[in-house]
Amino acid sequence: MVPAKHHHDAHHHEVDPAEMRQSLLIHDRVFARTHREIAEWLGIDRGSRVFDAGCGVGGMAEVFAERAAEVVAVDLDDENVRHTVDRIDAATRRAAIDVRVGDLLRLDDPDDAYDLVWCSRVVHHLPDMLAGVTELARVTKPGGTVAIREGGFGFRVLPDDIGYGERWFEDRLAAAGVGRFGRPPVTEPDSVPYPFGWSQLLVDAGLVDIRAKTFGFDALSPLSDDERAWIEHHWRRWLAREDWRARLQPADIELLGALLDPASEHYVFARTDLHLRAGLTVYAGRRPA
Ligand SMILES: C[S@@+](CC[C@H](N)C(=O)[O-])C[C@H]1O[C@@H](n2cnc3c(N)ncnc32)[C@H](O)[C@@H]1O
């Protein structure tokens, strides 16, 4: 199914591609509005050529296609590429589109090809992040922009005290989740340590005029179907997977079960005080002319 295998898949064996795709699809529906805000901030010129490195299922590629003259997108996963192609709506697109399977570490694009190179939630998976961003900078035109989405804030939806179990449940969940994803450990032969922040990474890749912005997302009860599906998707996998469950205290496993059970008096979506909040952070730099 996946012709161009990432040579680090072994480190990601715990991530099921179908489940990951599901997560990307729901994410793109929930954050569609935020994606457009990000595109505004990036300032896409109608004549521009945009490259989306590791496009996933195409949430941003779709937005770029509405605004730019040309959009090229690559992803290692051919199913993701198919989703991206399918979602770019012929009615709203104005750009020429080229979506293909490809590895951003080995691009066959010429130097100085794009006005904007976008790479969202991919760099932290790379064994050598600086080599990856340096490759992105290479295909960016002098004066053009490299923008990466990294960091940010994971979502929360509950108040600290929900009147059941110990307070700060979501903070414990977030702490238990640390280290589930991300780059191969630095003890791996070709994993290069990079113990600096995202802005420094752009500087070290030769970019200037670095800027960053966190795009807030807020939704109050009643949440939309997509917002509910997003929360359920993230919480259910804590119960579905033995290796994840093992990271939680038994009392929190029980609490999570009650929150997800429509028959329980603690069912999360019966609450009227939900506040889904998240922060999507983008770092951008310009390639010197
Ligand atoms: C967490 S997803 C992010 C997808 C999308 N950019 C987003 O923000 O929703 C990471 C994506 O990067 C792709 N990917 C990982 N390493 C890659 C590489 N070296 N070259 C191209 N794509 C890569 C994966 O197949 C996956 O679709």
Protein residue with its CA nearest to atom 12 in ligand 1? 54
Give 74 Cα–ligand 1 centroid separation in angstroms: 9
Residue type present at position 80: N
Residues whose CB is less than 8 angstroms from the CB of residue 118 and which lie 6 or more positions away in sequence, other chains included: 42, 50, 51, 52, 53, 60, 64, 147, 148, 149
Residue 8 has pLDDT above 60, yes or no: no
Q: What is the pLDDT of residues 69-103, one digit of tens each?
A: 999 999 999 999 999 999 998 878 999 999 999 99
Q: Which residues pair with 279 in a beta bridge?
A: 153, 216
pLDDT band of residue 4 (cuts 50, 70, 90) is very low
Q: What is the pLDDT of residues 107-146, one digit of tens each?
A: 999 999 999 999 999 999 999 999 999 999 999 999 999 9
pLDDT band of residue 181 (cuts 50, 70, 90) is confident
Q: Which residues pair with 198 in a beta bridge?
A: none
- Helices then strands (H, E): number in the chain? 10, 8
CA gap 127, 29 in Å, rounded: 29
Identify which of 280, 120, 109, 140 has the alpha carbon closest to the alpha carbon of residue 205.
140
Q: Which of 80, 122, 217, 230 to mutate to test the pocket of ligand 1 (most atoms within 8 A of CB)?
A: 122
- What does the block give as tokens for 170? 């979501």
CB hemisphere CA count around 21 (13 angstroms): 14
Give 120 Cα–ligand 1 centroid separation in angstroms: 7
DSSP-assigned states of every residue in 170-204: HHHHHHHHTTSSSSPPTTSTTPPP--S-HHHHHHH
Identify which of 117, 115, 109 has the alpha carbon closest to the alpha carbon of residue 142.
115
Domains, the chain: 9-152+181-217+280-286 (3.40.50.150), 155-180+219-276 (no CATH)
Other C-beta atoms closer than 10 Å to the C-beta of 266 total 16
Mean pLDDT for the stretch of residues 217-222:
98
Ligand 1 site, CB within 6 A: 6, 24, 27, 54-56, 59, 74-77, 80, 103-105, 120-122, 125
pLDDT band of residue 42 (cuts 50, 70, 90) is very high
For the chain, give the percent of residues with pLDDT over 70. Answer: 95
CB hemisphere CA count around 277 (13 angstroms): 9
Q: Which of 2, 75, 190, 234 to mutate to test the pocket of ligand 1 (most atoms within 8 A of CB)?
A: 75
CA gap 117, 139 in Å, rounded: 8
pLDDT band of residue 15 (cuts 50, 70, 90) is confident
Which pLDDT score is estimated for 3?
Answer: 40
* Whether pTM exceeds 0.85: yes
pLDDT band of residue 14 (cuts 50, 70, 90) is low
Protein residue with its CA nearest to atom 5 in ligand 1? 56
| Number of the ligand 1 atom closest to the C-alpha atom of 75 | 22
